[in-house]
Chains A and B, each alone.
Chain A
Amino acid sequence: MSYYFTILSPTDTPIFNIAFGTSKGGGDGIARFRFPDTAQYMNQFIIHSSLDIVEEAQWTNGGMYLKHVDTYPPAAAYISAFLTPSGARFLLLHQPPQLPSGNASLGSSSLLGASGSTTRTSSSSVAANPTSPQTEEAVRQFMNEIYESYVKSAMSPFYKQGMEIRSPVFRSKVTAAGKKWL
């Protein structure tokens, strides 16, 4: 499972982002997306496009954790969202590893850009099914932990809403949370 995590301000400005892989089940924590390295922008496109759904869910679901909100089928990318009350969006794109068997069935979509990104086979329990309750719960825990760090950042008098979060401590916190839950 590979992850791309982004925090967007209420005006869609990216505040923070990071890509990482699962650490469960022997994962090495390195992200291996299905896109070729030259196409990493796809993660951002997919996340950006999921805002359509997030904006809709935002006003129908009052929770902060919106669970899995969107899927981008061609790349099997799943988006989970968490909204802070002040309007920042935490978006997590998770993508199960491509099975070596190449179950791209009848033909691989050209959108996938047949990247040679076959990685280890299903490694962790979380990775197994991106929409399972276990995954939802793990992502929720992850989001909550980040939320705590985020609030701490936001409380700083030198931080203004919409500013990029550059603190290495924050980044390491996110990484640690990823390791712990995902």
Chain B
Amino acid sequence: MAAPRHSAMLSISNASTPQSTSSDKTQVQQPQSPAGTSGLRVPSNRKTIYDRHLNRSRNAELSRASFAYLFGEMVSYAQRRVTGIQDLEKRLNEQGYPLGLRLLDLLFYRATSTSSSALSSSSTSSSPPNRPLRILTLLHLIHGPLWRLLFQRSADALEHSVSPDTPNEYMITDNEPLVNTYISVPREMSMLNCAAFVAGIIEGVCDGCGFEAKVSAHNQPTEMWPSRTVFLVRFGDSVMEREKVLERAGVK
């Protein structure tokens, strides 16, 4: 069950962000399966995934309708046999998590690859970005580059909990999450926020960078932004401890 779901998600990720034409996409996927398994099926054109350029689709656009359709299918798929809203959100989160891990590598690859890969005449900075070591750098990475990769714009706000009891809580706000644009939540499920999927992506990114965290999506509508969503990031104790150590060591 997991595998097919992941594959679906991946295509979405490609779709929602960098991906291009559907034909291109399918071509990419074909070789992928042989790569992951031992029995190798080389595509007819002899091009495996390793021969394709990762940046090729970076500026390509994707049909929003197809994305909406796929995401809708994912939600309904996740909804099967769930026991409640929380369970559903958890599933969505789990779908997003591996995506976050992958996006992380892709994000950095695209930022670094400018020098070595001649194909993309990108204008990103020439020096490779650093892995985030501190919480703030990580959150800025999510708030900025990751959001742009996914939604082609930055998130709308980044806040730190003011309560002294919860110094480990941070909030990323999206006034109009793309994933929720075409989702209409029934009244009896008003607590549900399908951006739990995005929360899962964020969690994957945090975890991949070595920041153990729990991320959840919450509805915080305002008059102007009825679908405004807040992603609550709660870092684990080990992260906070390390943060102190790094603070003392002056690591940025």
Which residues of chain A are within 8 angstroms of B107 by Cβ–Cβ distance? Answer: 85
Find the A residue at minimum CB distance from B137: A62
Residue of B33, B128, B209, B251 touching A60 (CB-CB under 8 A): B251
Per DSSP, chain B at the interface is helix
Query: In the complex, A156→B36 CA distance in Å?
Result: 7
Given contacts A86-B208, A152-B50, A161-B98, contact A59 B246 (CB under 8 A): yes
Complex contact B50–A157 (CB within 8 A): no
Interface stretch among A19-27, A119-127, A166-174? A166-174
Which residues of chain B are within 8 angstroms of A168 by Cβ–Cβ distance? Answer: 40
Find the B residue at minimum CB distance from A163: B36
Query: In the complex, A63→B128 CA distance in Å?
Result: 8
Q: How many A-B residue pairs have CB under 8 A?
A: 125
A17: Cβ under 8 A from any B Cβ: no
Find the A residue at minimum CB distance from B8: A157
B123: Cβ under 8 A from any A Cβ: no
Complex contact B106–A62 (CB within 8 A): no
> How many residues belonging to A are interface residues under a CB distance threshold of 8 Å?
38
Residues of B in contact with A, size category: 35 or more
Complex contact B105–A150 (CB within 8 A): yes
Which residues of chain B are within 8 angstroms of A166 by Cβ–Cβ distance? Answer: 37-38
Complex contact A85–B35 (CB within 8 A): no
Find the B residue at minimum CB distance from A86: B208
Complex contact B109–A151 (CB within 8 A): yes
Complex contact A156–B49 (CB within 8 A): yes
Query: In the complex, A60→B54 CA distance in Å?
Result: 29
Find the B residue at minimum CB distance from A156: B32
A154: Cβ under 8 A from any B Cβ: yes
- For window 96-121 of B, CB contacts with A under 8 Å fall at 98, 101-102, 104-109, 112-113, 116-117
Which residues of chain B are within 8 angstroms of A152 by Cβ–Cβ distance? Answer: 35, 49-50, 52, 54
Complex contact B131–A62 (CB within 8 A): yes
A31: Cβ under 8 A from any B Cβ: no
Q: Kindly provide the distance from the CB of B11 to the nearest chain A CB, expressed in whole angstroms.
A: 8
Q: Kindly provide the distance from the CB of A179 to the nearest chain B CB, expressed in whole angstroms.
A: 16
Given contacts A59-B246, A156-B33, A157-B29, contact A149 B50 (CB under 8 A): yes
B93: Cβ under 8 A from any A Cβ: no
B63: Cβ under 8 A from any A Cβ: no
A144: Cβ under 8 A from any B Cβ: yes
- For window 56-111 of B, CB contacts with A under 8 Å fall at 98, 101-102, 104-109
Which residues of chain B are within 8 angstroms of A63 by Cβ–Cβ distance? Answer: 128, 130-131
Query: In the complex, A166→B104 CA distance in Å?
Result: 22
Find the A residue at minimum CB distance from B42: A169
B179: Cβ under 8 A from any A Cβ: no
A119-155 to B contact mask, C-beta < 8 Å, 1/0: 0000000000000000000000100110111111111
Complex contact B242–A59 (CB within 8 A): yes
Query: In the complex, A8→B219 CA distance in Å?
Result: 39
Measured CB to CB, the residues of B under 8 A from A are 3, 6-7, 9-11, 29, 32-38, 40, 48-50, 52, 54, 98, 101-102, 104-109, 112-113, 116-117, 128, 130-133, 137, 208-210, 242, 246, 249, 251-252
19 further contact pairs, Cβ within 8 A, besides A87-B208, A157-B9: A63-B128, A63-B130, A64-B112, A64-B128, A64-B131, A84-B108, A85-B209, A86-B101, A148-B116, A152-B50, A152-B52, A153-B49, A157-B7, A157-B11, A157-B29, A158-B37, A160-B6, A161-B98, A167-B36
4 closest Cβ pairs, A-B complex: A62-B130, A158-B36, A157-B7, A86-B208
Measured CB to CB, the residues of A under 8 A from B are 10, 58-60, 62-65, 83-87, 141, 144-145, 147-161, 163, 166-170, 173
16 contacts between A and B (CB under 8 A): A59-B246, A59-B251, A62-B137, A64-B112, A84-B108, A86-B104, A151-B54, A151-B106, A152-B35, A154-B101, A157-B9, A157-B33, A158-B33, A159-B35, A160-B98, A167-B35
